[in-house]
Amino acid sequence: MDSPESKNRASSDVGFTPVLIIGAGASGIAMAYQLKHQLGYSDFRVVERQSGIGGSWWSNRYPGACDVPTASYSFSFAPYYTSTRLYPTGDEFQKYLESVAKRFKLSSKIEFDTEVSSLRWIESDSQWEATLTHFAPGIGDLSTRERDEKIAKNGALVLRKETIRARAVVSCVGILVEPNPWPSSIPGRDNFKGPVFHTARWNADVDLDGKNVVVIGAGCSAAQVVPSLLVEPYNVKSVTQIMRQAPWVMPRLEEPFGKEKFAKYAPTVLKYFPILGWMYRMAIHWLVELILATVIQAKNVKWRKGLEASTLKRTLELIPEKYHTMMTPDYPYGCKRRVFDSDWLMSMNKPNFALENRKITAVHEQGLTLGAPYNKSTDNTNEKNIPADVIILANGFEATRWLHPLSVVGRNGSSLQDTWNQRGGPQAYMGIAIDGFPNFFIAMGPNSANGTHSLILTSENMAIYIAKTIRPLLEGDVTTIEVKKEAVSSWTQEIKQGLLKTVFVGCTSWYMDKEGYNSTLYP
């Protein structure tokens, strides 16, 4: 299907594409698939800042397995039933996305090491003008902070700038993109002589053999990484994990008939009997829906309290007694992202593992000094020095800085970030569209995620919705598509009211910004 020549042209010195997709993670792949295979439309570009397909999972290739089962963590148009494990590693999921792009002939549409630096709406032409920055290979894999520092020192890392026009823009930037930095307030931080890296920028070149490793954080990434470090092939001397607040830890589903039998038989059986794979996928889906019901504050209170009791009982049975106080959460079950684990708790029993919940008061060349505990019920305030050869940050992401560092300027020169600031936080109708920014759509935008389910399911559904919405635009029946301000406002109020009925308002978490505004979750 070709776009109408008279409506889809920019000035002669500026490139043009009817649809610009930003990002080649799961959402970007889903969007490209919808355009090409559901609409029959192949005139689009996908630009990806990093040097490979995968988005968050290109960055998060740390050792350890994802906590969403593989069968559920795949697209409906390309179900993945033949994995040898119930849960994929980040590397396995990245390769899955790569295979989907190749299978559906989407790879040729993707341009790597290319960042969309800015978007500006051109009212007279009903088009978006995009500034693209083309990096030297691998530079886009760095965080924005690290990349800006390198470019400031060596501008040659930017190969060229490009300006293009687009009829429609779909942002598939994602949520877990920019890792949190190591807090600059810690005294002596620059004195440390060993490697420091984030789980979202895993450095496979660092030799951990015989090293004292410190892991900062106790969320899902940390719980997945720590057990892996304590087994082959890493051979670390010790792992010290520094935790600020205990998570609620739920047991993972285990492979039917055991890991070895699952790996041996499941891929073959599910390959030749895909109906069993579909049933397996649906069973996981409904189980997750059942778990999701526990976050409703006004209902299921007894059920949630029962889950809190049983979950804590299991945790304390599996870990050493010296960690019982540290590992007792002091907030409602489900308020923060739960950790789904079968290995992390058991690894706490290993002689070369130590858990600390103290504040870091100083950093030295080969170690850290810990001071008062975060957990007020612990009365031990004596300082403690711990050795460190390598520091791994598992301290989360700048998840509430939506679309950062992309600059988006819509009608009348209005900045998207300024618009959101004026309204009290990021808001979008169905997490997809914002008034004043026509022909601009977000896959996995504000309040579209949840704390339990597969985000692949969500991103695919949003891509389907966006494709249906922009079809009249691509066929030349309309020149602009824009949501009404009243619709955005009404939707946002509904979301806010819904969130008040959940446990998400009961604690401080990465779902919320510093002002306590929750722009992440769908209630």
DSSP character string of 361-425: EEEETTEEEEEEESSTT------EEEE-SEEEE---B-TTSTTTT-EEE-GGG-BHHHHHHHTTS
For residues 85 and 419, the model is more confident at 419
Overall average pLDDT of the 446-455 stretch: 80
136 phi and psi, to 5 degrees?
A: -65, 150
Task: Please give the pLDDT value at position 300.
Answer: 63
The dihedral of CA 14, 42, 106, 68: what is its sign?
positive
Q: Rounded to whole angstroms, how far apart are CA atoms 45 and 254?
A: 41
User: Per-residue pLDDT for 262 more than 80?
Assistant: yes
* CATH code, residues 189-247+300-393: 3.50.50.60
User: Per-residue pLDDT for 275 more than 50?
Assistant: yes
Encode pLDDT of 350-384 as tens digits: 999 999 999 999 999 999 999 988 866 555 567 89
Q: CATH top-level class for 15-178+398-506?
A: alpha beta
Overall average pLDDT of the 209-221 stretch: 94
Domain with CATH 3.50.50.60 in the chain: 15-178+398-506, 189-247+300-393
Task: Please give the pLDDT value at position 378.
Answer: 53
Encode pLDDT of 235-245 as tens digits: 899 999 999 99
pLDDT tier for residue 2 given thresholds of 50, 70 and 90: very low
Overall average pLDDT of the 82-103 stretch: 91
Residue type, 264: K
Looking at 9-18, 113-122, 136-145, 480-489, which range is the least confident one? 9-18
Contact indicator for 220, 344 with CB cutoff of 8 Å: no
The number of residues in the chain equals 523
202: DSSP letter: -
Overall average pLDDT of the 45-62 stretch: 92
pLDDT tier for residue 146 given thresholds of 50, 70 and 90: confident
190 phi and psi, to 5 degrees?
A: -80, -5
Q: What is the mean pLDDT of the chain?
A: 88
Contact indicator for 410, 436 with CB cutoff of 8 Å: yes
Encode pLDDT of 23-34 as tens digits: 999 999 999 999
Q: Rounded to whole angstroms, how far apart are CA atoms 398 and 442?
A: 18
User: Per-residue pLDDT for 187 more than 80?
Assistant: yes
Q: Rounded to whole angstroms, how far apart are CA atoms 306 and 401?
A: 36
User: Per-residue pLDDT for 4 more than 50?
Assistant: no
For residues 218 and 301, the model is more confident at 218
Task: Please give the pLDDT value at position 297.
Answer: 62
Contacts with 406 (C-beta within 8 Å, 6 or more apart), sequence order = 22, 116, 117, 118, 119, 171, 173
